[in-house]
Amino acid sequence: MANAGLTSYIEKNSYFHKVNPLTKLLILICVIILSFTLKNFIYILALLVIIIPIAIKSKVLSMTFSPIFKLYFMFILLFFIQGFFHPYATEKLIDLPFGFTLWKDGLLYAAYIAARIFVMMVFGYWFVLTTHPGDLVSSLSRIGLPHALGYIILTTLQIIPRFRTQMQTIIDAQRSRGLETQGNLIQRLKSFVPLLGPLFMGSVQQAVEKSMALEARAFSAKGEKTSYRQATIKTKDKVIMVITVLFSISWEVLSWTL
C-alpha cells in the first residue's frame, strides 16, 4: 500500500500538490454546491471535462476515477430502482411483461442523482489524493479552526486504514486459536462476531491511551500554537480561487437561462 495506507494522500511533485489546501477545498465546495443546484445532469457531468486535465496535471488521473468503478453496482441499482419504481413517474418509456413499466422521468431522476454522486466523488477523491491532511489542518487552523477539532480531523482521516490493520491483527489472533474465517457466507458471518468485541473494546482502550499521549505532550497547553507544516496562499492560489468562483457563478446562471 502506498504511503502505508494511513491516508489516501499520494505524495507527488505536481502543480496541484503545491496549491494551497484551502484553494482546493474551495474548488470542492463549489463543485458540491453546483452539483446540487444545476438545472440538469448534463451540466453536472460537464464538470468532468474540467477534472480530467486537472487530474492529469496532478499526476493522479487513474487514481481519481478508480473509486467510481468499484461502485458500478450501486449505479446499476440506482437506475433500476428509479427507472421502475419512481413514485412520481408520469412518462412511460417501455411497457414490459408482468406489469413492469420503465419510466422516462425515473431514469432522468436516476441520471441526475448518479451525476451528482459521480462528480462529487471524483472531485472529492482528487482533493484527498492531492492534499496532505497535515497541510489541510494547518491551513484550516490558520483561518480559525480550533486546535482540538484540527486533531480530530487529522486522526479521523487515518482511522479507517488503522481500523483495517487492527482488524487483521484480531483475525490472525482468533485464527491462531482455531476460529474458522473461511468457508461459505454463513460461516464467514458467524466468524465475524467474535472479532467485533475485541475491535470495539480495543478502540475504546486506544482512545484512552491516545488522550494520555496527547496530554503528555502539552496538548491542552494555553497560548498560541504553531504548525510544523506551512502552506502559504500564493498568487496562483488567488488566481485559481477567483477563476473557480467566477466560473461557478456563470455556469450556474447559464444552466438556468439557456
Partner 1 sequence: MDIVTFKDFSWRYAGYRGWTLSNINLSIKKGEFIGIIGKIGSGRTTFCSSMLGLIPHFYPGLMEGEIIVDGVNVEKTSISELSTRVGLAFQSPANQLTGAGTTIEEELAFGLQNLGIPYKEMHKKVRDMLKLIGLEHFGKRSPFELSGGQQQKVAIASVLIMNPKILVLDEPTSQLDPLGTEQVFDMVKKLSKKGITIIMSTNNINYLSKFADRIVLFDNKIVKVDTPDKILTDVELLREHALTHSDITEVSIRLKKMGLYNKELLVDFDDLKKVIEGLIK
CB 103 within 8 A of CB 84: yes
Q: Write out the three cell numbers for 52.
A: 480530467
- The enclosing H or E element of 170 equals helix 147-176
Q: Does 217 bind partner 1 (CB under 8 A)?
A: yes
Q: Does 226 bind partner 1 (CB under 8 A)?
A: yes
Q: Does 232 bind partner 1 (CB under 8 A)?
A: no
Q: Does 158 bind partner 1 (CB under 8 A)?
A: yes
Among 29, 33, 218, 245, binds partner 1 (CB under 8 A): 218
Q: Does 219 bind partner 1 (CB under 8 A)?
A: yes
Q: How far is the CB of 176 from partner 1 (least distance, A)?
A: 20
Q: Return the range that interacts with partner 1 (CB under 8 A); candidates 15-23, 54-62, 213-221, 234-242.
A: 213-221
Give percent helix, percent strand, percent coil of the chain, each to the nearest 5. Answer: 70, 5, 25
Q: Does 88 bind partner 1 (CB under 8 A)?
A: no
Q: For residues 198 and 176, what is the distance between their CA atoms, to the nearest angstrom?
A: 15
Query: How many CB atoms are located within 10 Å of the residue 178 CB?
Result: 6
Q: How far is the CB of 177 from partner 1 (least distance, A)?
A: 23
**Distant-in-sequence, close-in-space partners of 149: CB < 8 Å, separation ≥ 6:** none
Q: Does 227 bind partner 1 (CB under 8 A)?
A: yes
Q: Does 238 bind partner 1 (CB under 8 A)?
A: no
Q: For residues 34 and 252, what is the distance between their CA atoms, to the nearest angstrom?
A: 7
Q: Does 134 bind partner 1 (CB under 8 A)?
A: yes
